[in-house]
Structure 1
Amino acid sequence: MGRQGLMAGYEDLVKKILRIRPELSEEDLERKVEEKLRSSPMLSRLGALLLLADELGALEVSDGSALPFDLSGFTKVSSLVSGLNDVSLSVRVIAVSPLVRLDGRAVLRMKVGDETGKASAVAWEQKAEELATVGLSPGMVITLLHAYTRSGPDGRPEIHLGKNSSVEVVEDTGTLPGVESFFVPISKVSTAGTFDVKGTLLMLSEPMPIQTKSGTVNVVEALLADEDGEAVLVAWRDKVDLLTGTLPGTELMLTDVRFRGGRFQTTVRTCVAKVARERHELSRLMAGSKRLVSDKLLRVLDVVKQPELVTLVVSDGVWVYRLPSRSMVGVEVKEGDAVRLVKGFVSERDGRKAIMTPEFGIKVVTGEDARKAPSVDRRRRLADISEEESDIIVEGVLQTKTPLGAVETRFGKAEKISFWLRDGEATVLCSAWRSKAREIDSMPVGKRVQLRWVRVRRNVFGELEVLVEKDTKVVVLEK
């Protein structure tokens, strides 16, 4: 629908209202339109007039004239293709992200849908700033006028809103599907891919700083559940702010999250919508959780300290867990001590277990409680390594090693080194990457070393190989 058509539609609708409501003058009607615009800045003049027409009953009374424009003329989401230069849609807002700046340009992302499907929408520059000030929220029905489409990163058509586009909030007539119908329960996702999912928040970890190639970024993990299962969500960078402060029992609806290795992770395109749930629903989901843990005594096997994060390697007598905590920075704790887990949840990645906690979810204990804490011996002789396992301690003489090399990975080039440990008659192949590769490269052959918290996996040749992890401790036993 072109701009001239919209203007003609406005004038025709004014005439129709005045015919049906002769007690109103055109000045009265225009004054009411102005009042609507002041109370709802998101509306266009046509949108405000439509609401007035509905309130005055002009849309329900037939005087022989047709509605000045045809809503059926809007493009359906399922009909979108990349490369359209002028397209208009009537859609429901599924989720909206806060305004961000990319290379200095204002960007606002949202997900919208109708009865035929859903699509990502991106507003740029001034249009993004306009939308950020008026408070779009999930559930609203809007019309997107004079948008254009481009191919998104996943190859699907994406709606773009530029300076010539307009967005109108319109009445929800109930013809479009509800917000929740656009999301898949987390328990229904089992294959790798990108999904729009929903689940109830059971617990949120405290933010943790993580070192990446681009610097230090914040990460939080969240335990989500529905009636049929539970899963861990990892939120990165600015998505941490979308979850911070969210109360347990809130249903989270997240767009464009990636599922891989049994966990969900946010992407740059993730938007979040939130709905509060009844407390009894939260209690039922928490009672059925297999990941939640509380009031648990743990023995400290090791302490890995970073400037803004302390990771305790702990055991409950059966399993070894990583227990990362920002609130434990500066707290005196060492190998052999005992801690009490106040509350947390188990998260797994690559066969290794971690316990994620909210702030101050760990306490150091002493006295009788400390003596009761269980322990476990994770030392393995090289000769006894016969199967894959994680978080073990091995030691031996650094017999030989390859030159430090660079390997292409999906994350770019990474340094790698292979080396062999010998203990008596047993020799085992080991490998290390990145900073650990450089650490091994700096050690002279012939030194006896202990590798704490390594994994044993079969390599492409079917041989068992010791993998040095990024948090593996390399200890030289002989000077």
Structure 2
Amino acid sequence: MPAGDPVDVRRLNCDRNGHPRLPRDGLGDVSEPLRSRPYRLTVRLEVQDHHGQRPVHFAPTPERLHLSQSARIPSRPFGERECLNLGSAQRQPDRLNPHIRRSPKAAGLGVSFDAIVERIRQRHGEDAVRRVLEGVEEAIKRDPRLTRFGALLLVANELGYLRSEVGLRSSLRIGELVGGLRSVSVVGRVLGVKGPLERGTRRMAVLRISDGTGSIDVVAWGSAADLVSSSGLRAGQAVRVVGARTREAHDGGLELHLDEGSRIEAAEHHEVPELEELVVRRFPAGAGKALDLMATVVGLSGERTYAASGKELGVRDALLSVDGALVYLSVWSNHVEGTDALEEWTDFLLTSLRQRDGELSTTPRTCVTRLSPSGPEEALGPLRVVTHRPDFGHLLTNGKSYLLARGSVPGPGAVISVRSCRFVREGRHWWLEIGDYRELQGAEVPEPEAVPLSDLRKGMRGIAVSGKILNKSQLSEVRTSSGKVATLAFWLSSGERSVYCRAWREAAELISSVPEGAWVRLRYVRVETDRYGEMQVTVDPESDVVTES
């Protein structure tokens, strides 16, 4: 709408799930986190009768989702040091973050808004309650993004009424933290330790912890960073961070910063879930700003070098098996202290990964922890032969992903267990070169479910889609860097959604023989955007086309 036009706010639903562009989970306002990709929407309302007040800005910010799936990793004791006293840590300037990561629930903190108010009344009197409540209203007026609970924690903490509430502070969970808190205590399990890292003229160390409600980076500077890095902390250990404060991170999330008097103590293992319950074992994993997962490295490409800011950086492509689902990962040498930190057919714990366009990438805070050796039978599981093309390559599936394969395999429908193999990266595809295998009699492997056309996202690859072929173009030839190749364009419709598709080479010739209106299933296709930024499905020569009745 044009700027300055009045808005009828009587019909607006002000909760976070009410905006048509935001995902809805049907859970109400702020009592539960949204369960889909986070968006940030800034809206300016100009009210006709504003009683002298300026128009208000607000930014609903759904939080990230932290999934917990099964995994395996041994828990280790804290070691010889029972406590890290960080009294020499350099104090950082406070920076209030008005955004609520997740509104605390009464069940999460063990207390409610009224319970905290009543506790302040009993300890400090009615005047303290009046000051706190007035401060809550003022804080909400200054920033309408705050919930009353979040504003209560901020105001009561600033006025010093929560400093004696040791029981309350010790019960704070990572997923319930808000920005601007001091003297925070949390209990979590270590996912990784990174550092010391050079940031300008200063040293920094990062301790990544999780408690089941979320994950967070604990940041230390200077001599405290050296102490954290040399503490011997390892993935799987339970720790308690005492006397930290929350700050906004560069990506809009939250961090815990250690101050003078902060310390890290050994915690009882029963105080926090086991590590196998804290990391992702399924992909795609949702919309966390930083992703922590356990995966098996099944393929590694050679290292390539890039020049950036006057430096040469190395990067390797890695293929991961996350509970059988194959995921692409870019491993940067400056992030993981050398791209040789990974090894094929080995289980790793990888933290602080960035997810974008269906692929993963390491970040400066990524920690790599080697877990245990693995093998093709464990990482890939039973494989069913979908198509048998000796001269072109076979298409296999383990029920979660499609794989391109070479070598001698049985005919379509057979199920095999691969004992020896290797993955080779050629162009944009990974090929499984099969060595030894055994055939599994009577075993069944289901077909991966087709992705609904409405759920397609840029970067998806190796997936299946199905729909009715409409508006098919004539088979034609275009000139490419490798010569003239056949191509064909068409629309795929599910009845509710239509998607533009383009097929190449053998796939184009195959689709040209399919009549319009036929229902087809396209296997091993990828989703990308064209030069106009519109989404399209690309059917490669390696893809498979099946007509369905």
User: TM-score, normalized by length of structure 2?
Assistant: 0.41
User: TM-score, normalized by length of structure 1?
Assistant: 0.47
Higher relative contact order (CA 8 A, sep 6+): 2
